[in-house]
Amino acid sequence: MSQFSMEPDNISTTRTILTHSPVVSGPWRDAWRAFQHNKMALIGLSVIVFFVIIALIAPWIAPFEYKEQNLVSRLQPPSAEHWFGTDDLGRDLLSRTLYGARISLWVGFLSVICSMIVGTALGLIAGFYGKWADMIISRLFDILLAFPGILLAIAIVAILGPSLENALYAIAIVNVPTYGRLVRSKVLSVKTEEYITSARALGANNARIILRYILPNSLTPIIVQGTLGIGTAIIEAAALGFLGLGAQPPEPEWGKMLSDSRQYIQNGPWTVIFPGISIMLTVLGFNLMGDGLRDVLDPRAKH
């Protein structure tokens, strides 16, 4: 009987423990909780999500085909039919701006991913192996950094030929040293830690040490820089498009739209306002989110 009489107490104790159990914690969960308390970072994330959704559903929400011309309706101001007005060829600016989000975000994300992969690989090799490998890779980075980024991108596109794909390659190449040097400096500090020495003592080879221990502990600055780098890549793509070295007609890239409309600023200011605002908001969103990630993931950045 005593055994049965204790059961309710055990059940209530178990319920109390479950009710007051601590919140599951972890570095990434803690970072997300801290990120949620940063209002500006959340605003940046909201802006990015908005433009990503717009880019994904552009074919379904665009009122007109982005390359459909109607010379009778050229340079029409914003109206009920054309919310953003029309350009010099009578094309609907709202539709072109929506499709432009697809191009700008595609270039931004893909160029940064390529830069991160190549730069991270070179930085890991330079920082971990050192000696001649570090010397060659570091000199390569120094050569690339000796030129202003946009001028080097212009030179690369001029050699490869004007196109959106070549502009993407140029932007990726220009930004490789940024990630490479960042990873190299992180590897130089991480590889002297005691757990790396312990891994060597246990017989772990270099590849396992790099992939299992060094790379995961070097991801924080890469993630922060990558987020900020997307905004920079979008600006660089817009600059190349403005110069006629990026997307080619009739592709509705925001920088190219600004270039095509610059002679109509007085007669049709809406032709430059909406693409310009789109570039500004997208880059601002990535910068705000990147600053928030830096505050959350980098303890030295916390005030």
pLDDT tens-place string over residues 83-140: 999 988 889 999 999 999 999 999 999 999 999 999 999 999 998 888 898 899 999 9
| Average pLDDT, integer, range 135-147 | 91
- pLDDT at residue 20 is higher than 70: no
**Confidence grade of residue 25 (pLDDT, cut at 50, 70, 90):** low
Residue 148: count other Cβ atoms within 10 Å of its Cβ: 10
- pLDDT at residue 78 is higher than 60: yes
Residue 24's pLDDT is what?
A: 52
Across all residues in the chain, what is the average pLDDT?
Answer: 84
- pLDDT at residue 29 is higher than 60: yes
Tell me the residue length of the chain: 303
**Confidence grade of residue 26 (pLDDT, cut at 50, 70, 90):** low
CATH class of the domain defined by 44-54+94-301: mainly alpha
> Tens digit of pLDDT for each residue in 263-277?
888 888 999 999 999
Residue 91's pLDDT is what?
A: 92
> Tens digit of pLDDT for each residue in 195-220?
787 888 888 788 888 888 888 888 88
Convert the chain into a string of H (helix), E (strand) and C (coil). CHHHHCHHHHHHHHHHHHHCCCCCCCHHHHHHHHHHCCHHHHHHHHHHHHHHHHHHHHHHHCCCCCCCCCHHHCCCCCCCCCCCCECCCCCEHHHHHHHHHHHHHHHHHHHHHHHHHHHHHHHHHHHHHCHHHHHHHHHHHHHHHCCCHHHHHHHHHHHHCCCHHHHHHHHHHHHHHHHHHHHHHHHHHHCCCHHHHHHHHCCCCHHHHHHHHHCHHHHHHHHHHHHHHHHHHHHHHHHHHHCCCCCCCCCCCHHHHHHHHHHHCCCCCHHHHHHHHHHHHHHHHHHHHHHHHHHHHCHHHCC
**Confidence grade of residue 155 (pLDDT, cut at 50, 70, 90):** very high
- pLDDT at residue 18 is higher than 80: no
% of the chain exceeding 90 in pLDDT: 38
Higher pLDDT, 248 or 99: 99
Residue 124's pLDDT is what?
A: 92
Residue 211 identity: L
Task: Decide: 230 and 112 in contact? Cβ < 8 Å.
Answer: yes
Residue 298's pLDDT is what?
A: 64
| Average pLDDT, integer, range 68-94 | 89
- pLDDT at residue 6 is higher than 50: no
For the chain, what are the domain ranges?
A: 44-54+94-301
